[in-house]
Amino acid sequence: MTLDAFLALLVYAFVTSITPGPNNFMLLASGVNFGFAKTIPHMLGISIGFLALLLAVGFGLGAVLAAFPVLHTGLKIAGGVYLLYLASKIAMSRSLSGKGEAKARPMRFVDAAAFQWVNPKAWVMAITAMAVYAIPEHPFLSVALVSLAFTVVNLPSVSVWAGFGTALRGFLSDPVRLKWFNIAMGVLLAATLWPMLR
């Protein structure tokens, strides 16, 4: 991979990692509801889970899904149902962490990592990155470079969303504002399904 191609890959990784999508909306909501420190396992889960997805796609899973469309459809349905479940949980949240809502908790590392496997945006990012930037003549090296680019860029990018949410905690400590913020985040998260349904 040439230096120019690697720099283009870094730009692609940055743009796709920092733009709105299911992960970033959930991190924004988690930053507001639980604070930055309690959202760190969620952020790490996204980065490690996406790295695993990238490697799997790069080493053949994307081809398997292309060969068996029913698996791809099943994955989309499972992802859509789970995403709607998460959207409803966020929309129904009514208090900041530590203020009386005992059942509420931030997403755990394992949950966030597993979510990447049903996250429509993550699949599009991984398949596109491997299709455009992986080099068939050097499959192992190019898959490793694509994965490295996303690993370097992803965690700082998603951290911005959790940090922004944390910065809003003071403003959203008013229960009415928090209620409407969480409803808006739930609706936006559900709306990320639209590209998958088209």
Q: What was the pLDDT predicted at 95? A: 66
Q: What was the pLDDT predicted at 160? A: 95
Does the residue 10 lie in any domain? no
**Mean pLDDT of the 150-170 span:** 93
Does the residue 101 lie in any domain? no
Does the residue 15 lie in any domain? no
Instruction: Write the pLDDT tens digit of every residue in 85-130.
Output: 877 877 787 666 655 445 678 899 999 999 998 888 888 889 888 8
Residue 59 carries which DSSP code?
I
For the chain, what is the domain count?
Answer: 1
**Mean pLDDT of the 12-34 span:** 91
What are the angstrom distances between the C-alpha of 173 and each of 9, 34, 71, 191?
Answer: 40, 12, 43, 25
Does the residue 152 lie in any domain? yes
pLDDT > 70: percent of the chain: 89
Determine contact, residues 87/182, Cβ cutoff 8 Å: no
Side chain identity at residue 9, one-letter code: L
Does the residue 83 lie in any domain? yes
What are the angstrom distances between the C-alpha of 176 and each of 12, 41, 88, 144?
Answer: 38, 28, 18, 47
Does the residue 14 lie in any domain? no
| 182 token code pair | 């969480």
Q: What was the pLDDT predicted at 174? A: 80
Sign of CA dihedral 39, 44, 45, 46: positive
**Mean pLDDT of the 46-69 span:** 85
Side chain identity at residue 97, one-letter code: S
Determine contact, residues 145/1, Cβ cutoff 8 Å: yes
* pTM listed for this prediction: 0.80
- State the Cα–Cα distance between residues 164 and 184, nearest whole angstrom: 16
Does the residue 84 lie in any domain? yes
Q: Which of 25, 18, 15 is nearest to 165 (CA)?
A: 25
Q: What was the pLDDT predicted at 46? A: 96
Helix 22-34 × helix 69-92 angle, to 10°: 20
Domain housing 134:
23-28+37-95+106-196
Does the residue 45 lie in any domain? yes
Cβ-proximal residues to 99 (8 Å cutoff; 6+ apart), any chain: none
| 87 token code pair | 């959207």
- Residue 72 pLDDT greater than 70, yes or no: no
Q: What was the pLDDT predicted at 70? A: 82
**Mean pLDDT of the 59-78 span:** 74
Q: What was the pLDDT predicted at 196? A: 60
